Structure formats: structure tokens, C-alpha cells
């Protein structure tokens, strides 16, 4: 067997039902989401987490029995208008194959297509004509009809619920949009999509969850996010053992070609993120396709090369010293401060260094434990 055969199994793509064997430690999250889908009467629910943590994969596994489900992606990123238009268009397109909904879906799809063509076409014509000195009044420029599009979306959802009964809509890729655009869009259309028997799950950036959690924990004070989402499910980073299990499942056919230490180091490097684990393993394999077996020195060389190439965080002498002291250390803040003081650093400076490394994401917190990020644990900086 050649090492380059491993590359196909390290592809970073969302899992679907056929890849269930690769899913690690998300059963509790899926049970919660499927309960929401089954028992909640209506509402907008978020799925949040760090980039690469597996939000799309989790969306793919929401499958409550005997409930009509459709999943759509949002990829246009121009504005709130474009998000709404693509949402409505993609929903209509996903319903075209349903006999009792086909005419409604086609009608909405055609309306969106004509609307966008008119506005985009006029914009193009304006830029071409304007270049030769023709002036236009701003009031004459057509705008996206946000209100009509919102009503089209509401009518299509209402009709689907009428025909299919309870309806689950999964919306992916919104976590890649700007936070403010996401919130403005959902807030603007929420009154049009709150129907009995209609549940929406939306992938969200971690920043929205942080704000939502803060709103929920404020005594006697409500934030705007509570008025938008009924709840947000947060996908926690995986544990080191989970990441290692994920890699072993992916590479089980070739496990004899990989040193145990390679899997340990890759699991550390990932900091709980599946995407990072797959990426560093792919990079290591790619750098060493001529080797007969992956060993510790192979992955360490790859990591050090990456840190050298990507190094974009300037560190002071004291910060570098702290990083060296923190290798292999895990525990409370006091434990880290104590380590710095033992090395001769004053207490006030120690607290400042600790906070600086937290801010730079070189120190990370998992549950109540701090540790050096795996990106820096094995590399000299």
C-alpha cells in the first residue's frame, strides 16, 4: 500500500447518512435536534459552532420520522435582499418535484427569476450608459421588492404546510455570511415564517451564539436574539480522544501505515476541530508520499513548516518564554500563573502574559481547563 492512497479518506466534506460510520460523538446533539423537530410546534432554531466543527454534517442527520423535510443552501452574499431572494428561490426549486406543490413552486421561482433579472439587468445597463455621460435620477432605479419576496416566501411555506403537514426547513451556509446580515434577514422575515407545524433550523456563526448566550443570562433583561430564535444548539469542540477515533475510523484500512504518535499529535493539533485534524493529516501525507510509513518526525516537520510559513502573530520575548513554559501544561489559570512565577516572572506580569496568550488564541479553554493550542505545542516559535 502507498501513503498517497490515504488522501482520499482525508477529504474534508460534510458527512451524510451513508457515512454514518464516520460520525463521532454527536449522538446527543442529534437526539436534541430531532426532538425539537418532532415536538416543537413552530419556531426558528439555530445550530452554532466554530467553523469546521460539523454544522453541515449535523444538519444532514436531522431526520425525524414521518415529517416532511427540505434542505437548502444560501451562497449569495451581496446583501440582505440577495439572501432573502436566494432563500425563496431555492425553496421553490426544492419543491418543484412535489405534485400538489409544483405549480406554486414554479410560479414563485419564475417571479424571483424575473425580478432579479430586471434589477440586475438595469444595473448593468446603467453602468454602461452612465459611462458615456447619461444621468439618471436615483428614484428611477428599480429596487429589489423585499416585501413582495417576503410574502411569496410566506405563501409558499403556508401552502407546503397545508399539503404536507409538519414541515422542517434546514438552511445551511448562512454561518458564512456577515453576522449583521444574517440577523437582519431573519428578523425581517420572522413574522412571515412563524407558522404552526413549521420548524426552521439554521446554521449560525459562533459569534451569534455568544451574543445569544449572553442575552439569555442577563437578569430581567432581554436581548434581540431571544426575539428571533426560540433556541440555539451549540456544537461543542470534540475531545482529543474523539478526534483520534475520527481519524482511526477514516483510516482504518491503512492504520498499519501510521504511527500511534502521528495520530496523537494530529489530535492535539486539531484543538477539537475535525476539519483541522483532517487538514494536518492530509498535509503530512502529502509531504511524505515517498515514505513507507508515517512517523512522528514526519508530522512534526509538517507542523513546523506550517508554523514557519503561516506565522502571523508577532510575539514578545516574554510571550515566547511563556509558550515554552506552557508546553504539556493543562489546568486552571492559577496553575499557569504559578508556573510563570516559578520561572522568575512577577505576578502582575504573569497575569498580563496569560491574558495576552488567551487573546491571541495561543492558550485555549476547554470546559474549565486551559491548555496550549495544539497549533503551537509542537512547534518552535
**pLDDT tens, position by position, 244-274:** 999 999 999 999 999 999 999 999 999 999 9
The pLDDT value given to residue 225: 79
Strand-by-strand arrangement of the 363-366 sheet: 330-331, 369-372, 363-366
**Residue 206 binned pLDDT confidence (cut-offs 50, 70, 90):** confident
Residue 278 neighbours by CB distance under 10 Å:
22
pLDDT of 345 above 70: yes
Sequence-ordered list of residues with C-beta below 8 angstroms from that of 216, at least 6 positions apart, any chain: 223, 226
> How does pLDDT run across 23-49, given as a tens digit for each residue?
999 999 999 999 999 999 999 999 999
Sequence-distant contacts of 354-361: CB under 8 A, at least 24 apart: 354/322, 356/319, 357/319, 357/322, 357/323, 357/326, 360/313, 360/315, 360/319
Q: Is the pLDDT of residue 139 over 60?
A: no
pLDDT given at position 222: 56
Q: Which domains does the chain have, with CATH numbers?
A: 26-234 (3.40.50), 239-310 (1.10.8.60), 317-377 (1.10.10.10)
The pTM assigned to this predicted structure is 0.84
Q: In whole angstroms, give the CA distance from residue 271 to residue 373.
A: 6
Q: What pLDDT score does 142 carry?
A: 57
- CA 284/CA 305 separation, integer angstroms: 10
Cβ pair 228, 191 in contact under 8 A: no
pLDDT at position 94 is 95
At 125 the pLDDT is 42
Amino acid at each position: 500500500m502507498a501513503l498517497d492512497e490515504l488522501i482520499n479518506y482525508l477529504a474534508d466534506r460534510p458527512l451524510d447518512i451513508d457515512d454514518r460510520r464516520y460520525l463521532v460523538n454527536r449522538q446527543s446533539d442529534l437526539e436534541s435536534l430531532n426532538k425539537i423537530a418532532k415536538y416543537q410546534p413552530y419556531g426558528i432554531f439555530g445550530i452554532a459552532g466554530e467553523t469546521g466543527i460539523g454544522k453541515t454534517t449535523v444538519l444532514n442527520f436531522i431526520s425525524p420520522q414521518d415529517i416532511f423535510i427540505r434542505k437548502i443552501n444560501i451562497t449569495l452574499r451581496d446583501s440582505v435582499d440577495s439572501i432573502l431572494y436566494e432563500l425563496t428561490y431555492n425553496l421553490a426549486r426544492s419543491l418543484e418535484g412535489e405534485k400538489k406543490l409544483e405549480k406554486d413552486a414554479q410560479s414563485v421561482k419564475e417571479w424571483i427569476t424575473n425580478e432579479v433579472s430586471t434589477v440586475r439587468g438595469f444595473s448593468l445597463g446603467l453602468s454602461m450608459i452612465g459611462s458615456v455621460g447619461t444621468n439618471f435620477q436615483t428614484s428611477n432605479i428599480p429596487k429589489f421588492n423585499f416585501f413582495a419576496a417576503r410574502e411569496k416566501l410566506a405563501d409558499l411555506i403556508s401552502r407546503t404546510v397545508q399539503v404536507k403537514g409538519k414541515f422542517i426547513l434546514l438552511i445551511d451556509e448562512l454561518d458564512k455570511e456577515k453576522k449583521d446580515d444574517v440577523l437582519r434577514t431573519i428578523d425581517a422575515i420572522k413574522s412571515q415564517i412563524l407558522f404552526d407545524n413549521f420548524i426552521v433550523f439554521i446554521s449560525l456563526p459562533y459569534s451569534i451564539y455568544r451574543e445569544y448566550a449572553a442575552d439569555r443570562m442577563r437578569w430581567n433583561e432581554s436581548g434581540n436574539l431571544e426575539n428571533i430564535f426560540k433556541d440555539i444548539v451549540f456544537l461543542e469542540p470534540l475531545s482529543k480522544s474523539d478526534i483520534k477515533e475520527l481519524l482511526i475510523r477514516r483510516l482504518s484500512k491503512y492504520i498499519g501505515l501510521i504511527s500511534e504518535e502521528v495520530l496523537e499529535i494530529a489530535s492535539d493539533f486539531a484543538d477539537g476541530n475535525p476539519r483541522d485534524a483532517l487538514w494536518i493529516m492530509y498535509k503530512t501525507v502529502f509531504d511524505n508520499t515517498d515514505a513507507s510509513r508515517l512517523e512522528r518526525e514526519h508530522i512534526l516537520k509538517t507542523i513546523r513548516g506550517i508554523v514557519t510559513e503561516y506565522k502571523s502573530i508577532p510575539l514578545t520575548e516574554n510571550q515566547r518564554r511563556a509558550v515554552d513554559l506552557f508546553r504539556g501544561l493543562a489546568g486552571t489559570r492559577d496553575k499557569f500563573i504559578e508556573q510563570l512565577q516559578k520561572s522568575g516572572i512577577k505576578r502582575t506580569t504573569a497575569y498580563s502574559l496569560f491574558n495576552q496568550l488567551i487573546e491571541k488564541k495561543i492558550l485555549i479553554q476547554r470546559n474549565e481547563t486551559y491548555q496550549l493550542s495544539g497549533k503551537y505545542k509542537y512547534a518552535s516559535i
